[in-house]
Amino acid sequence: MLLSYSLLSPDFARGVRRTFPVLETTNGRVAQIIVITELLQAASRGDYPELVPYLRALAAELI
């Protein structure tokens, strides 16, 4: 969740990735996809519209 919400601040997002190397593991990647899915679903209801392009870009990196 922290990484997804920090995508609007690239420097902070890089720091999150450095701090939590587990995000680069298979389980970490799956967890990121789950979070992205939840946030995109929330965005479809009007929440976090500014995150949508960043979430989609991150999802494309993970798949």
Question: Which of these, 10, 37, 13, 12, lies nearest to 23 by C-alpha position?
Answer: 13
Task: Write down the pTM of the prediction.
Answer: 0.91
Walk along the chain (63 residues) and give the pLDDT tens digit of each residue: 999 999 999 999 999 999 999 999 999 999 999 999 999 999 999 999 999 999 999 999 998
* Length, in residues, of the chain: 63
42 token code pair: 């929330």
* Domain coordinates in residue numbering, the chain: 2-62
Q: Residue 55: which H helix or E strand, with range?
A: helix 52-62
Share of the chain above pLDDT 70, in %: 100
